Homo-oligomer: A and B are copies of this chain.
Amino acid sequence: MITDIASDSAGSEIETAAHQHGYISDKDRYLARMRRIEGQARGIAKMIDDEKYCIDILTQVSALTRALQGVATGLLDDHLKHCVLDAAKLGDEDAAIAKIQEASDAINRLVRS
């Protein structure tokens, strides 16, 4: 059983009963991607410490940015296919609209970041 959001959460979620976040089924894959991203960040810090050429560092920063965007679009896709669709299937249109609004706000932040 999944408890949706821990009590210390920022709590932006609109609750739907017994709902499981979309990405949970792929949790291990997402964790592996984030560990790799963390390693990439550490590698860039090492390049700076070793005083590598700026342009070579920038190439790694671009690669890291793309890896992050891959995680973001994956999470969004899972959110739409699970959180939004589950709300819609429960016939709760207000909840579905609210979740879509959250997704749209997140897309805005991603597209502009």
Counted per complex, copies of this chain come to: 4
Is A100 within 8 A of B80, CB to CB? yes
Contact B55 A27 (CB under 8 A): no
Rounded to whole angstroms, the CA-CA distance of A61 and B109 in the bound complex is 10
Is A111 engaged at the interface, CB distance under 8 Å to the other chain? yes
Residues of chain B within 8 A (CB-CB) of A6 are 50, 52
For the residues of A in contact with B, the DSSP-based class is helix
Q: When A72-B58, A89-B93 are in contact, do A34 and B48 touch as well, CB less than 8 Å?
A: yes
A residues 18-74 touching B (CB-CB < 8 Å): 21-24, 27, 30-31, 34-35, 37-38, 41-42, 44-45, 48-59, 61-62, 64-66, 68-69, 71-73
Docked CA distance A59–B45 (Å): 24
